[in-house]
Structure 1
Amino acid sequence: MRLTLLGTGNAAGMPLYGCNCQYCFSARNNQDLRRTACSARLDMGDITILLDAGQLHLADSYPSGTLDAILLTHFHPDHVQGLFHLRWGIGNAIPVYCPPDDEGCADLYKHPGILNFIPKNEFSSFSIGDMEITPLPLNHSKNTHGYFFQGNGHAVAYLTDTKGLPLATEQFLSSRDVDLMVIDCSYVPDSNKGGHNNLNEVIEIASSTQPEKVVLTHIGHDLDIWLQQNSAELPPNIVAGYDGMALQPGPSDG
């Protein structure tokens, strides 16, 4: 099992439009410092699953037949915007698993094209190949799912967007051995903004659920700067994700 973080930014991304701070200046001039729309790709054997579709130009990155499924956490635009072009393709339908949401986003339901939207209820496990997938409820302004993946003896939790965790999700994760948790962390420590975790909240979640490793994603502008200045203050099992980061659960994680 291999998880690649395609994007690790919040909706605004990094660099922040109109900001002339030294960190945004550096990100404009160094591709490695940019943060694009939060999404990931999970590969296991010959199965490839896209987690959220906020990245643009998906048709260029994933030629027809290379995606086995897309899993949506929710229908906010920064997590589905790549679908608006992809849907007009031809060929086999692409399964798109998602939370139940009567509205969806714009006209995706009305004109799905090759996208086959498949709503899944929370804790209703299903399989793709040899991978078992369990949708987990999260705390956000739209109906939102995290996903718990089991396969090849490993367990991965992908949890964005959320503010804390619902008790049922926390209990589910606490009762399992989680090799890798990738989790929403948008704000600096002690921030009182809603909708997304600050760093203190992620540390509390990690303490209560005890994953082997935690990787931060959906990182906002101010937290990005804080991390560049204070990365040594992170607990030893928590690291900041970055675009293109490849993660392999277990001892060979990198």
Structure 2
Amino acid sequence: MKLKFLGSSNSAGIPVANCNCSVCSEYRINKKINFSTSAYLEYNEKYILLDAGNDLISNIFDMKDIKAIFLTHFHADHCMGLLRLRHSVKNIKCFHPKDELGFSDLFKHKHSIFYEVIEPFKSIYIDDIKITAIPLKHSKNTLGYFIETKEANIAYMTDCYEVPKNSLEFLKLKRVDYTFIDACYDETKSKGNHLNYLQASNILDEINTKNGFLMHISHSTLEYINNNRIKLKYRYVLDDEEFNL
């Protein structure tokens, strides 16, 4: 089993259009792109998607067995790929937090996507993988997911400015092998719709995760880290990094 990222940046991605900062310039020189944060689990030639923001998802997973999609929330950079994927000939289940508006006309024209609201702390089984919804605080109703497999337990918590007390208490009672958490901002910004890397690191400490990683980085945060030679306790996920579990 492996966890693979399609991207680990914020909604702007890296490089940002028309930005000449050192980070964006370096990405262009090296012909690299970091897409907005989304990931997937791969096991036995089957796939579970964690968000679907990449517009190329319908091509990336063409003729592959998508067992389910778990959306964290309905911001465009996390669900835009569904606009094309919904035309799949094969039906696909999509679990998501309660959101009457959703995104664009996804609910109106569902096509092959079957949407199902997953309530906080409810668990869904996909084969022998148990996935539990964890409430997070963001500008839209948002969930993280706790994924229990034979190989490892994973906490996936992107896009949040706070992890509520009940979610923290839930995680403290679990063995958490890997945690991936939003850390969009640098230390100069402590309020907004995302965590900064110090706030995120404190949460990783609190839940006593065995392996902690930051994600959803912005180009400005990465430039701040580079320019100030910041030594982080936990490192960021790198672009389309892959983790063997």
Superposition TM-score tier, normalisation by shorter sequence: over 0.9
Distance 2:163 2:31 in 1: 33
**177-186 vs 225-234, which deviates more?**
225-234
1:47 match: 46
Distance 1:231 1:136 in 2: 34
In the alignment, is residue 217 of structure 1 matched against residue 215 of structure 2? yes
Distance 1:230 1:177 in 2: 35
Question: Does structure 2 conserve the Cα–Cα contact (< 8 Å) formed by 1:190 and 1:200?
Answer: no
| Pairwise CA distance, 1:207 | 1.5
Deviation readout 1:197-233 (Å, 9 max, x if unpaired): 1011011101211101111111112112134446761
| Pairwise CA distance, 1:37 | 1.4
TM-score normalised over the length of structure 1: 0.91
Question: Does structure 2 conserve the Cα–Cα contact (< 8 Å) formed by 1:138 and 1:146?
Answer: yes
Distance 1:157 1:181 in 2: 5
Question: Does structure 1 conserve the Cα–Cα contact (< 8 Å) formed by 2:45 and 2:65?
Answer: no
Distance 1:21 1:76 in 2: 26
Deviation readout 1:115-142 (Å, 9 max, x if unpaired): 1111110101110001000000001011
Distance 1:183 1:205 in 2: 9
Secondary structure (helix, strand or coil) at the match of 1:68 reads strand
1:88 match: 87
| Pairwise CA distance, 1:88 | 2.0
In the alignment, is residue 164 of structure 1 matched against residue 166 of structure 2? no
Distance 2:151 2:36 in 1: 30
User: What is the percent sequence identity of the aligned residues?
Assistant: 34
Question: Does structure 1 conserve the Cα–Cα contact (< 8 Å) formed by 2:13 and 2:36?
Answer: yes
2:77 match: 78
| Pairwise CA distance, 1:110 | 0.1
Structure 2 residue ranges without an equivalent (≥5): none
Secondary structure (helix, strand or coil) at the match of 2:235 reads strand
Secondary structure (helix, strand or coil) at the match of 1:59 reads helix
**1:105 maps to which of 103, 106, 120:** 103
Equivalent residue letter for 1:111: H
**57-66 vs 118-127, which deviates more?**
57-66
Paired residue total:
245
| Pairwise CA distance, 1:43 | 1.8
Structure 1 residue ranges without an equivalent (≥5): 250-254
**2:194 maps to which of 193, 196, 203:** 196
Distance 1:121 1:95 in 2: 15
Secondary structure (helix, strand or coil) at the match of 1:116 reads strand
Equivalent residue letter for 2:69: I
Extract structure 1 runs of 4+ deviating beyond 4 A: 229-232
Secondary structure (helix, strand or coil) at the match of 1:234 reads coil
**Alpha carbon RMSD of aligned pairs, Å?**
1.5
**1:147 maps to which of 145, 148, 154:** 145
1:26 match: 26
**179-188 vs 216-225, which deviates more?**
216-225
TM-score normalised over the length of structure 2: 0.95
CA, structure 1 residues 96+231, in 2 after alignment: closer, same or farther (shift >3 Å)?
Answer: farther
1:248 match: 244
| Pairwise CA distance, 1:163 | 0.8
